[in-house]
Amino acid sequence: MTLQQISTTRRAFLAGSGLVIGLALTPRLSAFAATKGVQAGGEDALTALNAFVKIGADDTVTVLSKHIEFGQGPFTGLATLVAEELDADWSQMRAVHSPADDKVYANLAFGLQGTGGSTSIGNSYEQLRKAGATARAMLVAAAAEEWGVPVGEITVEKGRIKHAASGKESGFGALTVKAATQTPPENPKLKDPSQFVLIGQELPKLDTIGKTNGTAIFTLDIATDDMLIAVVAHPDHFGASVKSFDDSEARKVKGVIDVKQVPQGVAVYADNTFAALKGRDSLKIEWDLSKAETRSSKALEADYAKNFAEKGLEATNNGDVQAAFSKDGVQTLEAELVFPFLAHAPMEPLDAVFMKAADGSLDIYTGAQFPGMDLATAAKIVGLDPSKVRVNTQLTGGSFGRKAQFGSPYMQEAAAVYAATDRTRPVKHMWTREDDIRGGYYRPMYAHKMRGAIDAEGRITAWDQVIVGQSIMGKADLDETSVEGASNLPYVIPNLRVTSHNVELAVPPLWWRSVGHTHTGFAVETFVDELLQKVGKDPVEGRLALLTNEPRHMGTLKKVAEMADWGSTVPDGRSRGVAVVRSFGTYVAQIVEISAGDDGAPRVHKVWCAVDCGVAINPNVIKAQMEGGIGYGLGAVLFDAVTLGEGGKIVQSNFHDYRSLRINEMPAVDVAIIASTEKPTGVGEPGVPPIGPAVANAWRRLTGSPVRRLPIVNVVTS
Partner 1 sequence: MVTFTLNGKERSFDGDPDTPLLWVIRDFEKLTGTKYGCGVAQCGACTVHLDGMTRRSCITPISTVDGSEVITIEGIDGPEAKAVQAAWVAIDVPQCGYCQSGQIMSAVALLQVTPKPNDADIDGAMAGNLCRCATYHRIRQAIHNAADAMEG
- Return the residues of window 386-445 that contact ligand FES according to CB under 6 A: 398
Residue nearest to ligand FES (CB): 347
For the CB of residue 397, give the shortest distance to ligand FES in the complex, in Å. 6
Which residues within the stretch 287-306 sit at the binding site for partner 1 (CB under 8 A)?
none
Cα(372)–Cα(114) distance, integer angstroms: 8
Q: Is 89 helix (H, G, I), strand (E, B) or coil?
A: coil
Task: Please choose which of ligand FES, partner 1, none residue 440 contacts, taking the beta carbon within 5 to 8 angstroms, the exact cut-off set by kind.
Answer: none
Q: Which of 279, 283, 289 is nearest to 246 (CA)?
A: 283
Q: Exposure string (b/e) for 129-166, b if CB count within 10 Å is 16 or more?
A: bbbbbbbbbbbbbbbbebbebeeeebebeebebbbeee
Q: Which of 389, 347, 372 is nearest to 660 (CA)?
A: 347
Which residues within the stretch 656-695 sit at the binding site for partner 1 (CB under 8 A)?
656, 660-664, 666, 668-669
- Using CB under 8 A as the criterion, what x/- string covers residues 375-414 for binding partner 1? --------------------xxxx-x--------------
For the CB of residue 105, give the shortest distance to partner 1 in the complex, in Å. 21
Cα(705)–Cα(718) distance, integer angstroms: 14
For the CB of residue 377, give the shortest distance to ligand FES in the complex, in Å. 26
How many residues are listed for the chain in this entry?
718
Binding of residue 214 to partner 1 (CB under 8 A): yes
Find the helix packing angle between 619-639 and 691-703, rounded to 10°.
Answer: 50
Which residues within the stretch 140-179 sit at the binding site for partner 1 (CB under 8 A)?
none
For the CB of residue 71, give the shortest distance to ligand FES in the complex, in Å. 5
For the CB of residue 98, give the shortest distance to partner 1 in the complex, in Å. 19
Considering only 79, 275, 324, 579, the residue that binds partner 1 (CB under 8 A) is 275
Mapped to the 3 state alphabet, what secondary structure does 625-648 carry?
HHHHHHHHHHHHHHHCCECECHHH
Which residues within the stretch 321-360 sit at the binding site for ligand FES (CB under 6 A)?
347
Binding of residue 70 to partner 1 (CB under 8 A): yes
Which run of H or of E encompasses 26? none
Contact 167, 125 (CB under 8 A): no
Task: Please choose which of ligand FES, partner 1, none residue 177 contacts, taking the beta carbon within 5 to 8 angstroms, the exact cut-off set by kind.
Answer: none
Which residues within the stretch 405-464 sit at the binding site for partner 1 (CB under 8 A)?
432-433
Task: Please choose which of partner 1, ligand FES, none residue 400 contacts, taking the beta carbon within 5 to 8 angstroms, the exact cut-off set by kind.
Answer: partner 1
**Closer residue to ligand FES in complex, CB, 70/410:** 70
Task: Classify residue 703 as exposed, middle or buried by CB count within 10 Å of its CB (0-12, 13-18, 19+).
Answer: middle
**Closer residue to ligand FES in complex, CB, 207/303:** 207
Which residues within the stretch 346-375 sit at the binding site for partner 1 (CB under 8 A)?
346-349
Binding of residue 640 to partner 1 (CB under 8 A): no
Considering only 16, 18, 20, 21, the residue that binds partner 1 (CB under 8 A) is 21
Q: Which of 380, 693, 653, 337 is nearest to 514 (CA)?
A: 693
Considering only 37, 42, 56, 71, the residue that binds ligand FES (CB under 6 A) is 71
Task: Please choose which of ligand FES, partner 1, none residue 311 contacts, taking the beta carbon within 5 to 8 angstroms, the exact cut-off set by kind.
Answer: none
Find the helix packing angle between 539-546 and 551-564, rounded to 10°.
Answer: 170
Q: Which stretch binds partner 1 (CB under 8 A): 280-288, 340-348, 379-387, 484-492?
A: 340-348
CA 383 to chain centre: 32
Sign of CA dihedral 104, 107, 109, 112: negative
Which run of H or of E encompasses 461? strand 460-469
Considering only 50, 241, 272, 317, the residue that binds partner 1 (CB under 8 A) is 272
Strands in 160-163's sheet, in edge-to-edge order, are 154-157, 160-163, 168-170
Binding of residue 73 to ligand FES (CB under 6 A): no
What is the bridge-based pairing of β-strands 168-170 and 160-163?
A: antiparallel
Task: Provide the residue type at 637 as one letter.
Answer: V
Residues near ligand FES, by CB under 6 A: 71, 347, 398
